[in-house]
Amino acid sequence: MQQICPCCNSKSTRQFIKVLEYDYYECKSCDTLFIDTNYLSKIDNGFNIVKYEEGYWKMELESAKDRAYGPALARMSEALYYCKRPVNKFLDIGSGPGYFLDAVKKLLPANAHHFYGVELFPPKEEFRSKSENYIIGDLGDLTDKYDCGICVEVVEHLTPKMFDDILQKLARVSNPDALYIFNTGMPEYVKHEDMGYLDPTKRGHLVSYSLKAVSLMAGKYGFVVHRIPGKTWAYALELTDNKKAASADIRERIWHALPQNLNLLCDPEMGHVLKILGLETSRAYN
């Protein structure tokens, strides 16, 4: 059956890989890798490939803690270096159990009140963060405006229709020049670093979105997509009228980052470790 790319509507697609009984396809126009669109349609209508049983949640909660105290802190620190506006409110999109907020409270206790997390489908209460900034609900229902944020290992679980909805709502709750780093495996990462990333039944990874696809989808809502050189698993979205902004190397911003934003990465008791992390993770990849 002919597969039409769910991101750019191109008919120029081909089978990429079969994982168990599930076919994944590659769009030769925008490079996105996606599961059979019949399944994408079913998922949009409530079907789940992943069986959300006790074993899944045990694995997922352990992974969530690892992400919160590792990649999420690195991407957060990096985003604060890149963001061109002063950051008063920082948002973790699709926060899961909210462990990122707990990590921030431990490492940045004096500034933890600036950090928020939102999750539409939280785990049971006993497994959630107790942070007062942990928001259970839809991104579109937030009443505050945010300046910066992260979205770590979320969008690969989403159909293009779901991702489009997230982008539209994110634009509505963002201040001008707000910047967000999305941590997710892109096609280059899948092909050259981890073919096992496309996993529908255990990890629930449905789509590997390319920068071209994200640019098409996010551009409708005012976002510019920034490639982060060396990172095949992360990019930045910036809500800006300057459409030429993406042509510049975003890493150059670290040398004139806003002092207010860098101060968020420092704590009187815990020191400057996250400020150092943000600088070094921005420079560590070519």
Q: What is the CATH number of the domain that holds 147?
A: 3.40.50.150
Per-residue pLDDT of the chain (286 residues; tens, 9 = 90+): 689 999 999 999 999 999 999 999 999 999 999 999 999 999 999 998 987 665 666 778 889 999 999 999 999 999 999 999 999 999 999 999 999 999 999 999 999 999 999 999 999 999 999 999 999 999 999 999 999 999 999 999 999 999 999 999 999 999 999 999 999 999 999 999 999 999 999 899 999 999 999 999 999 999 999 999 999 999 999 999 987 877 899 999 999 999 999 999 999 999 999 999 999 999 998 6
Residue 244 lies in a domain: yes
Predicted TM-score (pTM) of this structure: 0.96
Residue 34 lies in a domain: no
For 275, the domain range is: 50-283
Residue 41 lies in a domain: no
Domain count for the chain = 1
pLDDT at 108: 98
pLDDT at 50: 82
Cα separation, 264 vs 1, in Å, equals: 52
Residue 87 lies in a domain: yes
pLDDT at 52: 61
**Total Cβ atoms within 10 A of residue 191:** 17
Residue 241 lies in a domain: yes
pLDDT at 2: 83
Residue 10 lies in a domain: no
Place of tokens 């669109």: 37
Residue 7 lies in a domain: no
Residue 161 lies in a domain: yes
Query: What tokens appear for 46 in the block?
Result: 């409530």
Per-residue 3-state assignment (H helix, E strand, C coil) for the chain: CCCCCCCCCCCCEEEEEEECCEEEEEECCCCCEEECHHHHHHHHCCCCCCCCCHHHHHHHHHHHHHHHCCHHHHHHHHHHHHCCCCCCCEEEECCCCCHHHHHHHHHCCCCHHHEEEEECCCCCHHHCCCCCCEEECCHHHCCCCEEEEEEECCHHHCCHHHHHHHHHHHHHCEEEEEEEEEECCCHHHHHHCCHHHCCCCCCCCCEECCHHHHHHHHHCCCEEEEECCCCCCEEEEEECCCCCHHHCCHHHHHHHCCHHHHHCCCECCCECHHHHHHHHHHHCCC
